Amino acid sequence: MTTVIADARRASTRAASSGNLSRTPPAASRYPQSRLLHIVAPSLKVPDAAAASVFGAVRSRGPVARDVIAQLTQLSIATVNRQVTALLDAGVLRERADLAVSGAIGRPRVPVEVNHEPYLTLGIHIGARATSIVAADLFGRTLDVVETPTPSGPQGAALAALASSARRYLSRWHRRRPLWVGVAAGGVVDSATGYLDHPRLGWADAPVGPVLAEALGLPVSVASHVDAMAGAELLLGGPRRAPEAVGAPARTSLYVYARETVGYALSIGGRVHSPASGPGTIAGLPARSELLGGSGQLESTVSDEAVLNAARRLRIIPAEGPSSTLSAVLRAARQGNGQAVELLADRARVLGEAVALLRDLLNPDDLVLGGQAFTEYPEGLPVVEDAVTRRSVLGHRDIRLTVFGNRVQEASAGIVSLGGLYADPIGAMRRAQTRRSAAV
């Protein structure tokens, strides 16, 4: 493993030194090790292949008969029958003969549903301070989640600790077979190879995907965490929109995130836009707050750390100790501490002005806010909305909070682990079985 990763790192360094990723050879030829270790680019889009459409219809409406699936997917009954048979053989669907219509003749009238009990996927959200490890079922529902401090220290030791934690966590699941690992992280992700640059953690060209694939014996996908959050909103956030008419403009959705870091993602026509060179950044957008301080840039002004530092300076909370937390600041505001209320309102104002700038620049059809800077203090949302209205030069547009609330980090990791299965359920099951067999 050490030789493989070292070779891949040298190849990555040569590629990065060219300064133009789009002109380098395809990832598979630059990093043959990534193919060996089963690194798979995440699929953060509404799937449209036949098998994926059938699986999606069963997930959303099952138990369901084949003729109803044909109506939902607009596929022919012959195509639906073929895909259902293949999905049954792959093990992701099962028949429910006990629910067949009385007097109906023939197997096509037997409803099918997702065969979710035997399987799980593993999601890992690597945050600046905390890492969440999530087990999800095939519906995208969280089965269990644990949170630990993000490993610190030298990069190699931190990755080894992360892999060890994930391996121990999986060992607890004796009755479910793990299929896939999804990682959501800040920084710049090379989704083709699973490598990550994360300046806040001191990681450069970190082989996150290869290390986890080697340690867990499973396919691994790695995505930018804000892209993943937008993907969760798109694929797990509720009823899907009706398919867009041919020739109609693609709908766009802007997702803005704020907590310890800030970021944004744009979905266009049912697909999260993920540039090959990594996501853009809004950390350096201009921002000004006398209460919060900061360097005049957005992230340093509205981050959790900035709020804590300001609260300590204003003596809302002690300078140190167990009461010197963001939860204590929120509690003080809800108990009527005027300085705490003013501090959090100013954070909401600065965030609203940044959202207005992005909204005017990109003019999305939908605008979604996520991250604990919004969801842990919903009392600040009217201030955000007012700042957007005052600062924006465009007409009014509704703003909504993420449907995942404070669970957005676990949802983002979960959808990265499930995206490949949703896009190609038959191929994903085959890949998971191949990888598992090779690791035994």
**CB neighbours of residue 3 within 10 Å:** 8
Residue 159 tokens read as 């990755």
pLDDT (0 to 100) of residue 105: 54
Return the domain boundaries, the chain: 50-114, 118-232+408-438, 250-402
What would the CATH number be for the domain defined by 50-114? 1.10.10.10
Which class in CATH covers the domain with range 250-402? alpha beta
Average pLDDT over residues 278-298: 91
Please name the fold of domain 118-232+408-438. Answer: Nucleotidyltransferase; domain 5 (3.30.420)
Do 50-114 and 250-402 show the same overall fold?
no
Distance (Å, whole) CA 25 – CA 423: 25
Neighbouring residues of 86: CB distance < 8 A, sequence distance ≥ 6: 51, 426
Confidence of residue 337 (pLDDT cuts 50, 70, 90): very high
- In Å, what is the CA distance from 77 to each residue of 28, 100, 281, 381? 38, 18, 46, 48
Residue 244 tokens read as 């867009």
Residue 231 tokens read as 């993907």
pLDDT in tens, 85-135: 999 999 999 999 888 876 555 555 799 999 999 999 999 999 988 999 999
Task: Say which range, 14-28, 168-182, 220-234, 406-420, has the weakest mean pLDDT.
Answer: 14-28
Average pLDDT over residues 377-405: 94
Distance (Å, whole) CA 241 – CA 155: 42
User: Is residue 240's pLDDT more than 80?
Assistant: no
Residue 417 tokens read as 């682990």
User: Where does 94-183 have alpha helices with state H?
Assistant: 155-170
**Sheet containing 203-206, strands listed edge to edge, beginning at the edge strand earlier in sequence:** 188-190, 195-198, 203-206
Give percent above pLDDT 70 in the chain. 86
pLDDT (0 to 100) of residue 34: 44
Cβ(307)–Cβ(292) under 8 Å? yes
